[in-house]
Amino acid sequence: MTTVVWLNEVGKDDVSIVGGKGASLGEMINVGAPVPDGFAVTAPAFRHFIDRSGIADDLFASLKVDVNDPDALNRAERDAKSIIFDAEVPPDIEKAVKDRYLELCEREGEEVFVAVRSSATAEDLPDASFAGQQDTFLNMRGADQVFEAVVKCWASLYGARAIFYRVEQGFDHEKVNISVTVQKMVNSEKSGVMFSSHPSTGEPEVMIEAAWGLGETVVSGSVSPDNYVVDREEMKILSKIIATKEIMAVRDPKTGKTIDAKPVPPEMRDKQVLSENEMLELAEQAAVLEKHYGIPQDIEWAFENDEMFILQSRPITTISSGTKAEETGGDGKILVTGLGASPGMVSGEVKVITGSKELNKVRDGDIMVTVMTTPDMVPAMKRAAAIVTDEGGMTCHAAIVSRELSCPAVIGTKIGTEKLSDGMLITVDGRKGLVYEGRLEVAKEKASAAAAVSVVAQKLITATEVKVNVSIPEAAEQAAATMADGVGLLRVEHMILGLGEHPQKFIEEGREEEYIGELVKGIKTVADAFYPKPVWVRTLDAPTDEFRGMEGGEIEPHEHNPMLGWRGIRRDLEQTHHFRMELRAFKKLHELGLTNVGIMLPLVQHVSELVRAKEIICEEGMDLEKIDLGIMVETPGAALSIEDFIAEGIDFASFGTNDLTQYTLAVDRNNENVASIFSELHPAILKQIEYVVDKCNEAGVTTSICGQAGSYPEMVKRLVEIGISSISANIDAVEVVRETVARAERIIMLQALRER
């Protein structure tokens, strides 16, 4: 059994020995990338420790608990970790780790700071990913400290979140091992990121961003980096933009800890970070890595004492899930028109659906035509190549779900179900909102809404955060692939309405735990995909007419105007048992380590609603210090009394412009007859937004937008100018929004410079 191996002794086939992390670092070294020196404590070494120390029986017995019981789960973590910490590590393993560290120091000529990172592997499934569930320890120095960190990494295999995850995914605890990598931390004088190909066009142009000091400033976006573009085929520098670099991150020589924002000495602020030779050296390395992996790479690099290091290389996230269909405009006859609610162009056979019983009619690749979709139609929507509805606006159920399913959709055609009939062959253009007769030549495949925007997600770092809205857990992965800075709105309505049974039915039949379990499951899928980035979950906000369609929904009152009726926070505060079930789900998620879950309250109009909601949250045993709590600003009432909410205490305020617009302009958001005057750019809306942002900025409260308007470039530009902290867009719009934000920010900076 090998206890420790140098990273250059392993490669991509050694995942079961050194974990995914160790194997990928080894692989990069093998293709000649200058990766910082280090070694891995192998997974067999961990196994050996378990077997020889005689703790196996007790350890695995301690994990046999009901993982849905938070107390039992936390107890399991406590017990398992203390079994690990109390066990005696065989002296030969301890010695091998310490000796290897000392050898590393000898090679480096000093006692080095190292990063100690966990990498879990499943014996029978070497590719299983447990990323992010175990611990990492940075800036460790000295053999004792390094060894201690290795043992802590081992113990982190038994954190509550990791235990829960394995049980839920059906992994046997006994078959999951852990390897630990120990790698020298680079103390760079300059660093940054680069894309091996142009992230939007795919051209062989390496885009490099560079700043002084450690890489954190570039990765986090806290500094404007220099930007260079190198043609890697001609090895020619195409452009250089030298930014003013105000701050840099440096390492404290004593503790090894990062000092985040040290001012850059004046003479270096406007100085070009990289020499031309260094740019070319990086571009050459980028080409090697892209060639080796076969796809464009997003690479972190650094220079220490003029020596180049590659810290990480991973694929530029492809958000395409289908083949992009070229849009030609076509010369086919237009049958119906509506709102282009989800982009993409496809052809298929019409299936008109008049009720839930007919959903089986929709086969893969058909075009579903219906008056309006409902949550029970989601399985059929997944099979459909496109969706056409008679009713609805840009924010109705059909529009939101189609976008998340990357399914082209034309909404609010008024006459779709009348004009289109079963068996007709049509082509749907979900960008322009057109439905053509027949199959247009190029529209043969289901186009991904995301692909219709771009092939790759561009990792442009902006000061204004760009987040994403999610409504169905199935969209979590695709949403995370946009590399958004978090989820600015997770709507739970779609999850709850999708259960088919009214929440009250769960309560009456004593099935509260089942309901809470469903919520935990759905939210967890999203929170896991984004962890540790924030995910703001909005409490239930479905109007009575939507609830009525569910089993047990007959109890819903008939309201003259459901949009102005019993929904959102006003309902939560009356039907507190429903609200409390949601809060219990949030609490459970926090207990599972998903502390990135925040709470957002919908449709508030008076501060007293916030006061009461907070009381209930505290009654449910949640600590408001430890959870992000915010409000939706979607009524003029909330917008114009924002000071009261700030004084009462909120972490964030997010504009729900769909409702704010309908309530300010008296325009029903779901009524296609008035869709043409539904405008979020109306001065009255912008005034309210500006007022709220100003007040929040004065008070240090985060602002965001999660209404549909956050996906519109014109609105985004205004919001950046107004000074909003973040923007949450639809999945298909994240990239365009990020570009719009970046441009708007640059214009502001340029103007400021010119005015100096």
What residues act catalytically?
397, 706
Q: For residues 628 and 659, which CB has a smaller minimum distance to Mg ion in the complex?
A: 659
Element holding 310 (H helix, E strand): strand 307-315
Contacts of 574 (CB under 8 A, 6+ apart): 566
User: What's the CA gap between 300 and 185, in Å, rounded?
Assistant: 13
Which of the ranges 351-359, 425-433, 573-581, 654-662 carries the binding residues for Mg ion, by CB under 5 A?
654-662
Q: Is 338 in the site for Mg ion (CB under 5 A)?
A: no
Which of the ranges 121-129, 247-255, 270-278, 652-660 carries the binding residues for ligand PEP, by CB under 6 A?
652-660
**Of 686-715, which residues contact ligand PEP (CB under 6 A)?**
706-707
Find the binder of ligand PEP among 160, 489, 604, 685 (CB under 6 A): 489
Q: Is 634 in the site for ligand PEP (CB under 6 A)?
A: yes
Q: 3-class SS at 25?
A: helix
Q: For residues 659 and 735, which CB has a smaller minimum distance to Mg ion in the complex?
A: 659
Compute the least distance from the CB of residue 493 to ligand PEP, in Å: 7
Cα 690-691-692 angle, rounded to 5 deg: 90
Compute the least distance from the CB of residue 705 to ligand PEP, in Å: 8
Compute the least distance from the CB of residue 552 to Mg ion, in Å: 24
User: What's the CA gap between 280 and 233, in Å, rounded?
Assistant: 11
Contact call for residues 474 and 220 (beta carbons, < 8 A):
no
User: What's the CA gap between 525 and 169, in Å, rounded?
Assistant: 12
Q: 370 vs 336, 356, 377, 418, CA distance in Å?
A: 13, 11, 10, 10
Compute the least distance from the CB of residue 500 to Mg ion, in Å: 23
Which of the ranges 12-20, 210-218, 277-285, 651-659 carries the binding residues for ligand PEP, by CB under 6 A?
651-659
Beta strand segments in 13-135, E = 38-41, 114-122
Q: Is 680 in the site for Mg ion (CB under 5 A)?
A: no
**Dihedral (CA of 656, 659, 663, 669) sign:** positive
Compute the least distance from the CB of residue 395 to ligand PEP, in Å: 5
Q: Is 57 exposed, middle or buried (0-12, 13-18, 19+ CB in 10 A)?
A: exposed
Compute the least distance from the CB of residue 469 to ligand PEP, in Å: 7
> Using CB distances below 5 to 8 A depending on partner kind, what does residue 395 bind out of Mg ion, ligand PEP, none?
ligand PEP
Contact call for residues 497 and 546 (beta carbons, < 8 A):
yes
User: What's the CA gap between 200 and 196, in Å, rounded?
Assistant: 12
User: What's the CA gap between 138 and 380, in Å, rounded?
Assistant: 48
The DSSP 8-state label assigned to residue 275 in this structure reads -
Find the binder of ligand PEP among 313, 417, 657, 725 (CB under 6 A): 657
Q: For residues 190 and 491, which CB has a smaller minimum distance to ligand PEP in the complex?
A: 491
What token pair was written down for 535?
């995910």
Which of the ranges 53-61, 77-85, 412-420, 650-658 carries the binding residues for ligand PEP, by CB under 6 A?
650-658
Q: For residues 273 and 632, which CB has a smaller minimum distance to ligand PEP in the complex?
A: 632
Contact call for residues 430 and 369 (beta carbons, < 8 A):
no
Q: Which of 280, 162, 269 is nearest to 226 (CA)?
A: 269
Q: Is 543 in the site for ligand PEP (CB under 6 A)?
A: no
Q: Is 528 in the site for Mg ion (CB under 5 A)?
A: no
Q: Is 106 exposed, middle or buried (0-12, 13-18, 19+ CB in 10 A)?
A: exposed
Compute the least distance from the CB of residue 662 to ligand PEP, in Å: 8
Q: Is 493 in the site for Mg ion (CB under 5 A)?
A: no
Q: For residues 68 and 671, which CB has a smaller minimum distance to ligand PEP in the complex?
A: 671
User: What's the CA gap between 495 and 518, in Å, rounded?
Assistant: 8
Q: Residue 284: what residue type?
A: E
Find the binder of Mg ion among 522, 656, 719, 738 (CB under 5 A): 656
Q: For residues 485 and 634, which CB has a smaller minimum distance to Mg ion in the complex?
A: 634
> Using CB distances below 5 to 8 A depending on partner kind, what does residue 518 bind out of Mg ion, ligand PEP, none?
none
> Using CB distances below 5 to 8 A depending on partner kind, what does residue 571 bind out of ligand PEP, Mg ion, none?
none
Q: For residues 177 and 657, which CB has a smaller minimum distance to ligand PEP in the complex?
A: 657
Q: For residues 320 and 389, which CB has a smaller minimum distance to ligand PEP in the complex?
A: 389
What would the 3-class secondary structure string for 696-737 be?
Answer: HHHHCCEEEECCHHHHCHHHHHHHHHHCCCEEEECHHHHHHH
Number of residues that bind ligand PEP (CB under 6 A): 11
Of the CA atoms within 13 Å of residue 551, those in its CB half-sphere come to 9
Compute the least distance from the CB of residue 658 to ligand PEP, in Å: 3
> Using CB distances below 5 to 8 A depending on partner kind, what does residue 77 bind out of Mg ion, ligand PEP, none?
none
Q: Which of 414, 358, 351, 356 is nearest to 384 (CA)?
A: 351
Q: Is 659 in the site for Mg ion (CB under 5 A)?
A: yes
> Using CB distances below 5 to 8 A depending on partner kind, what does residue 491 bind out of Mg ion, ligand PEP, none?
ligand PEP
Q: Residue 461: what residue type?
A: I
Q: For residues 22 and 707, which CB has a smaller minimum distance to ligand PEP in the complex?
A: 707
Say if residue 532 is preceded by a cis peptide, omega within 30 of 0: yes
> Using CB distances below 5 to 8 A depending on partner kind, what does residue 489 bind out of ligand PEP, Mg ion, none?
ligand PEP
Compute the least distance from the CB of residue 658 to Mg ion, in Å: 5
Compute the least distance from the CB of residue 653 to ligand PEP, in Å: 13
Q: 754 vs 451, 463, 556, CA distance in Å?
A: 38, 20, 60
User: What's the CA gap between 219 and 196, in Å, rounded?
Assistant: 16
Find the binder of ligand PEP among 403, 491, 571, 584 (CB under 6 A): 491
> Using CB distances below 5 to 8 A depending on partner kind, what does residue 657 bind out of Mg ion, ligand PEP, none?
ligand PEP
Contact string 257-296 vs Mg ion (x = CB under 5 A): ----------------------------------------
Number of residues that bind Mg ion (CB under 5 A): 3
Find the binder of ligand PEP among 133, 224, 313, 395 (CB under 6 A): 395
Compute the least distance from the CB of residue 376 to ligand PEP, in Å: 19
Q: Is 397 in the site for ligand PEP (CB under 6 A)?
A: no
Alpha helices (H) in 54-131, listed in sequence order: 56-62, 70-86, 91-108
The DSSP 8-state label assigned to residue 324 in this structure reads P
Q: Is 634 in the site for Mg ion (CB under 5 A)?
A: yes
What token pair was written down for 489?
């709105």
Contact call for residues 18 and 33 (beta carbons, < 8 A):
no
Contact call for residues 650 and 630 (beta carbons, < 8 A):
yes
Q: Residue 696: what residue type?
A: C
Sheet holding 307-315, edge to edge: 236-241, 226-231, 205-212, 190-195, 297-304, 307-315
Q: For residues 340 and 656, which CB has a smaller minimum distance to Mg ion in the complex?
A: 656
Which of the ranges 81-89, 339-347, 639-647, 654-662 carries the binding residues for ligand PEP, by CB under 6 A?
654-662
Longest dimension (CA), the chain: 80
What would the 3-class secondary structure string for 109-176 be?
Answer: CCCCCEEEEEEEEECCECCCCCCCCCCEEEEECCHHHHHHHHHHHHHHHHCHHHHHHHHHHCCCHHHE
Compute the least distance from the CB of residue 566 to Mg ion, in Å: 14
Find the binder of ligand PEP among 528, 651, 659, 739 (CB under 6 A): 659
Q: Is 656 in the site for ligand PEP (CB under 6 A)?
A: yes
Element holding 630 (H helix, E strand): strand 629-633
Which of the ranges 23-31, 583-591, 618-626, 653-661 carries the binding residues for ligand PEP, by CB under 6 A?
653-661
Q: 3-class SS at 419?
A: helix
Q: For residues 156 and 395, which CB has a smaller minimum distance to ligand PEP in the complex?
A: 395
Q: For residues 298 and 634, which CB has a smaller minimum distance to ligand PEP in the complex?
A: 634
Compute the least distance from the CB of residue 344 to ligand PEP, in Å: 22
Binding site for ligand PEP (CB under 6 A): 395, 489, 491, 541, 634, 656-659, 706-707
Binding site for Mg ion (CB under 5 A): 634, 656, 659
